[in-house]
Homo-oligomer: A and B are copies of this chain.
Amino acid sequence: MKYRIKGGLLVIPGAGGTVQATKGDILIGNDRIEAVGDIGFQHHHAEDIAVIDAQGCAVIPGLINAHCHAGMSLLRSYADDMRLQPWLEEAIWPVEAVMTPDDIYWGTLLSGLEMLKGGVTTFADMYFAMEDVANATVEIGMKAVLSLGLIGIGPNAAEDLLATKAFFDTWHQGADDRIHVQLGPHAPYTCPPEYLREVVTLAKELGAGIHVHIAETEDEVDGVGQTYGRTPVEYLDDLGVFDTPPVLGAHCVYVTNQDQAILADRQVGVAHCPQSNQKLGAGIAPIPAMRALDIPVGLGTDGAASTGRLDLWAEMRAASYVQKVIDRDPEQLKAKEMLYMATRGGALALGLDDTGALVPGFRADLAIVDLSAAHLTPCHDPIALLAYAAGPSDVRDVMVDGEWVVRDCHLTTLDENKILRRCREQSKTLMQRVRGE
């Protein structure tokens, strides 16, 4: 199927890690973008092209959620305003201990529904029961880079390495290349050296990338420093964790100048999660410094159990605003940088070379954003409007690989109400299991 998206404000690549806006059309053929801007007269009246009116709308690359735990959305609003250790030990872990693959499947559909309707087309995920996550992702019509969380100090460490291999063999580049699989060593403080060596060996054997939490809290930096005499980044680098690109480091809040040089040299992608890092009291990652070193930086929501919402628009604002106030400098992390990070920056951090920009030859993942609401009126600068005023509710249509998955704010692939009803049920029975009923 071919589509011509007509008359919108197109958000296209700008200079040096930014975007810019231009009025024009986009031509989509099969799963690719064929032309952007002036699409050529021969396409204007072709009968086999469906024309989509985007007057008064912005057309943006599909947003990339660079770090998520989609299966956790059944725990949204379950435990907030708590310090990290009691949050994990008293709230989250006891629930995860009785969570079923079915919970994770439905939780992922719920996350997918929220993300797609908000313009997110791809997410990077680390959790359990990843086959179910992959199935849910494909069924709802999204793309994902998936990794089974590997806890080296946990009881299933060896078994999960085998499961990861099987998951990679079955799913990597599966579903028309919509699913990528990475290895997911959880974090420096949960994976001892001997285990990380096994992970690296497997990654090299499979040619797989890696997704790992890095330097999220000061406690982690202190602990790794005391145990191994180096920073989390140095620890991972020394063990070869950055040897099999693409490598995606979630958080990277506490990274020294030397750490940043390592991340830049190895081209490790960074998933910046500003709302999660703020809400959990972790800290604020040095994003302008890392971007200046050409480290690929994307934006992530983390899980709905920590952040409350999988909203890349809110992450753009949170990242920009907190940086401006920390530096007492409103010129930091401008609107055009935030939209880049939420799209192309994220794609590069995830190792998706032909994704995240409205460029001929790229995968046709995009969102049409209706600019007619009061909170988007008037429009002096569409980029500022998108970064600082738009939200999930302004997303009208979403396309993944050339297929419409959201039209007029409604999911086309699955029954939204069925997902919502089932997730409410699923969350009730999950709570009954937690209470031992």
Central interface residue in A308, A391, A431, by most chain B CB within 10 Å: A308
A205 interface contact, C-beta 8 A: no
Residues 9-48 of chain A, each 1 if its beta carbon lies under 8 Å from chain B, else 0: 0000000000000000000000000000000000000000
Of the candidates B76, B77, B334, B428, which one forms a contact with A81 in the assembled complex, judged by CB atoms under 8 Å apart?
A: B334
B279-A321 in contact (CB<8A) = yes
Spot the interface stretch: A126-134, A171-179, A256-264, A373-381.
Answer: A373-381
Central interface residue in A81, A324, A325, A332, by most chain B CB within 10 Å: A81
A289 interface contact, C-beta 8 A: no
Residues 51-86 of chain A, each 1 if its beta carbon lies under 8 Å from chain B, else 0: 000000000000000000000011111101111100
Please judge, given known A-B contacts A80-B388, A380-B76, whether A329 and B424 are in contact too, CB under 8 Å. Answer: no
Please judge, given known A-B contacts A281-B327, A308-B388, A331-B81, whether A420 and B377 are in contact too, CB under 8 Å. Answer: yes
Please judge, given known A-B contacts A87-B330, A321-B278, A330-B87, whether A381 and B80 are in contact too, CB under 8 Å. Answer: yes
Spot the interface stretch: A153-161, A233-241, A312-320, A352-360.
Answer: A312-320
Of the candidates B76, B117, B321, which one forms a contact with A385 in the assembled complex, judged by CB atoms under 8 Å apart?
A: B76
B318-A384 in contact (CB<8A) = no
- Residues of chain B lying within 8 A (CB to CB) of residue A290: none
Give Cα distance in the complex from A363 to B251, angstroms: 46
B321-A275 in contact (CB<8A) = yes
Tell me, rounded to whole Å, the shortest Cβ–Cβ distance linking A356 to chain B: 22
A331-B378 in contact (CB<8A) = no
Tell me, rounded to whole Å, the shortest Cβ–Cβ distance linking A238 to chain B: 28
Give Cα distance in the complex from A385 to B77, angstroms: 6
Tell me, rounded to whole Å, the shortest Cβ–Cβ distance linking A221 to chain B: 13
- Residues of chain B lying within 8 A (CB to CB) of residue A77: 378-382, 384-385, 388-389
Of the candidates B304, B334, B375, which one forms a contact with A392 in the assembled complex, judged by CB atoms under 8 Å apart?
A: B375
A282 interface contact, C-beta 8 A: yes
B87-A378 in contact (CB<8A) = no
A281-B324 in contact (CB<8A) = yes
Please judge, given known A-B contacts A278-B321, A378-B423, A391-B393, whether A384 and B283 are in contact too, CB under 8 Å. Answer: no
B277-A420 in contact (CB<8A) = no
Tell me, rounded to whole Å, the shortest Cβ–Cβ distance linking A49 to chain B: 31
Interface of A, helix, strand, loop or mixed by DSSP: helix
- Residues of chain B lying within 8 A (CB to CB) of residue A275: 317, 321
Tell me, rounded to whole Å, the shortest Cβ–Cβ distance linking A422 to chain B: 10
Give Cα distance in the complex from A275 to B431, angstroms: 36
- Residues of chain B lying within 8 A (CB to CB) of residue A428: 378
A401 interface contact, C-beta 8 A: no
Please judge, given known A-B contacts A314-B317, A385-B77, whether A328 and B375 are in contact too, CB under 8 Å. Answer: no
A281-B80 in contact (CB<8A) = no
- Residues of chain B lying within 8 A (CB to CB) of residue A307: 388
Give Cα distance in the complex from A78 to B382, angstroms: 10
Residues 265-277 of chain A, each 1 if its beta carbon lies under 8 Å from chain B, else 0: 0000000000101
Of the candidates B117, B324, B374, B392, which one forms a contact with A117 in the assembled complex, judged by CB atoms under 8 Å apart?
A: B374
- Residues of chain B lying within 8 A (CB to CB) of residue A377: 73, 76, 110, 420, 423-424
A202 interface contact, C-beta 8 A: no
A372 interface contact, C-beta 8 A: yes
A375-B78 in contact (CB<8A) = no
Give Cα distance in the complex from A10 to B212, angstroms: 42
B389-A76 in contact (CB<8A) = yes
A427 interface contact, C-beta 8 A: yes
Where the two chains meet, the residues of A that have a C-beta atom closer than 8 Å to any C-beta of B are 73-78, 80-84, 87, 110, 113-114, 117-118, 218, 275, 277-284, 304, 307-311, 314, 317-318, 320-322, 324-325, 327-332, 334-335, 372-382, 384-385, 388-389, 391-393, 416, 419-420, 423-424, 427-428, 431
Instruction: Given contacts A110-B374, A322-B325, A374-B419, list 8 more A-B pairs with CB under 8 A.
Output: A76-B377, A77-B385, A77-B388, A77-B389, A281-B325, A308-B317, A374-B416, A374-B420
